[in-house]
Amino acid sequence: MKTLKIQSMVLKDLINFKINGRAPKWRIGTFEDNIAVTDDQVIFFIPKNEFFIRVDGTTLTSDSISDVVQGKDDAEDFEFINRIEIIKKTNACVLAPILTNAKYKMNVMIDKKYFDFFENYCHFKATTPSSVVFVYEDDKLVGAVMPYLR
């Protein structure tokens, strides 16, 4: 996982909050031995020793994170099939990488802006096309991404 890229994005958001008073997009909390960072579409799990932003208060509870990741043990493997679909929205287009599960003939899409925060060797798991997509690197859960639904 590209932890420095994630922290840079979070830090810019927090600075913007301090300067402009705009509510921060990212919320930070702790979960197991990690710092959890979310914008409600993705949760990144960053090891505490790799998180360099000092956080005095957290706005995210471990219970709310537990609710999101509760199905991870039942999830099936999905693989990226090297195809990205362009989905037109009202004011923009979303690039959605397609993940597939051959056994159940299911496809799931996630927003490419989140896909790029994970390493190329990561692998994905989900239970249904509309469920949370779990992201693993070296068999360690490093993220959970909401699927992109049309």
DSSP letter at 84 equals: E
Return the higher-pLDDT residue of 78 and 82: 78
pLDDT of residue 56: 67
Cross-sheet strand order for the sheet of 140-145: 27-31, 34-38, 42-47, 140-145, 133-137, 123-126, 76-88, 93-101, 106-109
**What integer is the mean pLDDT of 63-81?**
80
Element (DSSP H or E) covering residue 143: strand 140-145
How long is the chain? 150
Structure tokens at 58: 């957290």
What predicted TM-score, i.e. pTM, was given to this entire model?
0.82
Four-CA torsion 44, 87, 100, 71, nearest 10 degrees:
40
> Is 100 in contact with 81 (CB distance < 8 Å)?
yes
pLDDT digits 0-9 by tens, 31-57:
888 999 998 889 999 999 999 987 766
